[in-house]
């Protein structure tokens, strides 16, 4: 690493001793530098340095702190782009900001400091070794910014001994066990992807009168998609809508013309498709110029392939986070305290909310033992996530509710048409 030295400082190359600089005629710049070297100025600069730069303990102090019980530890896993990306630096800045607030508070968290350790990503090959290492080091929890993809690799090894694993994302992470109960050590900040069942039921209420016909296109050969279709039909029915179910055999149909004609004949106001983006494309092409055609709502996350199809509607829990003005204020505070530019305010907000969740659980547990922490993680309430306030649903190990935006495709862009507070469903049989 190249280190730039101020004028007049001796520099050593480690082999031939100090290298002296030639003396130069005194200039305005050198006189200014000389004035900065006065003892009174140096003392002032030193005091400013102490204020601006947080004092983190040396490794030996960390060991003593852990052994004496006044430091509790959390491991950090990077976003997919790595720690040196905008996302990585923004997430880490928010974590250091939260960590410092605890350090500077009179009572800390249950009288302790919480220390976050920046680590490398986990893959399937290293998962068992990493879990063993965390346990040896006394790591209580792991906070990941990897969008939940580590869950499949880690869950066989976390068991009931932990550490607790918290994803700052997790929409695609299935944290349920075979009985539909969340695994004891797994938690996520996002609603699970099945939140769109509740979201579309709520959205339909804002648009259509009771008694309207709503169509659902599902896949009988995919257990998850069959379950989503059936449960959405039940929710529509409970809200007073008439439901027309249509089924396809594993997305393998060559034509959807009969389904399209029957849906139009039934006067369906909208068709919700759980059958994948390619099916949505084919249905859109077949109905876009037909009289009395229905709206098409896509049951998956927004994706670029949909941008060619004007009128497609999706539900998204990430968009409200990306545009949240409260997270811009958080970014400015991180810059003020840590001199870190937050270019990704959404992931910074996720990091700060996840830290609060962990602090709440540590405070309630009064212990760094993962089993105790796992017992209090589902009890958290009042977590600040930008403009949202989150409480955790013990039945899902996720927030009970999140703000969801309904986005329509127009001019090759997604545009918000409505925003609702949506409760994520409990496990759906």
Domain shared by 270 and 329, yes or no:
no
- Classify residue 424: in a domain, yes or no: no
Q: Are residue 186 and residue 326 in the same domain, yes or no?
A: yes
Percentage of residues in the chain having pLDDT higher than 70: 83
In a domain, 73, yes or no: yes
Based on the domain organization, do 160 and 200 belong to the same domain? no
59-79 mean pLDDT: 80
List, in order, residues 6 or more apart from 355 with CB less than 8 Å away: 94, 95, 98, 99, 116, 143
What is the average pLDDT score of the chain?
86
Inter-CA distances, 123 with 120, 127, 150, 153, 321, Å: 10, 6, 7, 7, 28
Q: Looking at the 3D structure of the chain, how many domains does it have?
A: 2
Does residue 91 share a domain with residue 73? yes
| pLDDT tens per residue across span 161-208 | 999 999 999 999 999 887 889 999 999 999 999 999 999 999 999 999
Which residue, of 242, 270, 300, is where some domain finishes?
300
Q: What is the pLDDT of residue 51?
A: 37
**Above 60 in pLDDT, residue 36?**
no
Query: What would the pLDDT profile of 115-174 be if each residue is shown by its tens digit?
Result: 999 999 999 999 999 999 999 999 999 999 998 889 999 999 999 999 999 999 999 999
Residues 107 and 247 in one domain: no
Assess whether 77 and 130 both reside in one domain. yes
Residue 331 pLDDT more than 90? yes
CATH of the domain at 396: 3.40.50.2300
13: pLDDT strictly greater than 60 = no
Asked if 326 and 185 sit in the same domain, the reply is yes
Establish if 366 belongs to a structural domain. yes
| Residues 187 and 63 grouped into a single domain | yes
Establish if 419 belongs to a structural domain: no
- The answer to whether position 411 is within a domain reads no
Q: Based on the fold, state whether residues 182 and 327 are members of the same structural domain.
A: yes
Same domain membership, residue 208 and residue 125: no
Distance, first Cα to last Cα, the chain: 57
Q: Are residues 259 and 358 in the same domain?
A: no
**Residue range(s) defining the domain that contains residue 77:** 59-193+322-402
Is 270 among the domain residues?
yes
Q: Rounded distance, CA 196 to CA 316, Å?
A: 8
- The residue among 43 and 270 whose pLDDT is bigger is 270
The answer to whether residue 359 sits within a structural domain is: yes
Model confidence pTM above 0.75: yes
pLDDT of residue 38: 55
Q: Say yes or no: 156 and 213 in one domain.
A: no
Any domain includes 418: no
Last residue of some domain: 300, 333, 366? Answer: 300
């Amino acid at each position: 690493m190249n280190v730039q030295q101020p004028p007049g400082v001796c520099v050593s190359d480690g082999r031939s001793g100090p290298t002296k600089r030639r003396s130069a005629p005194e200039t305005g710049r050198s006189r200014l530098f000389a004035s900065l070297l006065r003892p009174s100025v140096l003392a002032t600069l030193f005091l400013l340095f102490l204020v601006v730069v947080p004092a983190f303990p040396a490794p030996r102090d960390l060991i003593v702190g852990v052994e004496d019980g006044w430091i509790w530890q959390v491991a950090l896993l990077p976003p997919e782009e790595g720690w040196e990306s905008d996302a990585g630096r923004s997430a880490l800045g928010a974590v250091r900001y939260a960590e410092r607030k605890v350090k500077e508070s009179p009572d800390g968290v249950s009288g302790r400091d919480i220390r976050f350790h920046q680590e490398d990503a986990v893959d399937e090959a290293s998962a068992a070794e990493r879990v063993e290492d965390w346990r040896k080091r006394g790591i209580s929890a792991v906070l990941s910014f990897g969008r939940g993809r580590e869950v499949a690799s880690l869950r066989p090894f976390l068991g009931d001994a932990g550490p607790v694993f918290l994803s700052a994302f997790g929409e695609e992470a299935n944290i349920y066990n075979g009985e539909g109960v969340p695994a004891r050590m797994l938690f996520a900040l996002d609603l699970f992807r099945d939140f769109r069942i509740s979201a579309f039921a709520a959205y339909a209420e804002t648009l259509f009168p009771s008694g309207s016909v709503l169509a659902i296109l599902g896949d009988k050969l995919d257990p998850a998609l069959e379950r989503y279709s059936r449960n959405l039909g039940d929710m529509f029915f409970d809200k007073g809508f008439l439901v027309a179910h249509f089924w396809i055999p594993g997305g393998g149909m060559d034509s959807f013309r009969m389904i399209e004609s029957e849906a139009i004949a039934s006067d369906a106001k909208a068709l919700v498709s759980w059958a994948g983006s390619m099916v949505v494309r084919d249905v859109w092409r077949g109905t876009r110029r037909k009289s009395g055609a229905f709206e098409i709502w896509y049951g998956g996350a927004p994706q670029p392939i949909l941008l060619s199809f004007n009128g497609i509607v999706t539900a998204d829990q990430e968009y409200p986070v990306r545009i949240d003005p409260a997270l811009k204020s958080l970014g400015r505070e991180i810059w003020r305290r840590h001199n870190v530019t937050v270019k990704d305010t959404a992931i910074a907000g996720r990091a700060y909310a996840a830290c609060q969740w962990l602090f709440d659980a540590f405070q309630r547990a009064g212990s760094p033992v993962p089993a105790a922490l796992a017992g209090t993680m589902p009890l958290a309430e009042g977590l600040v996530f930008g403009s949202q306030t989150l409480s955790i649903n013990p039945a899902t190990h996720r927030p009970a509710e999140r703000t969801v935006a309904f986005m329509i495709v127009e001019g090759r862009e997604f545009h918000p048409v409505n925003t609702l507070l949506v409760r994520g469903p409990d496990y759906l049989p």
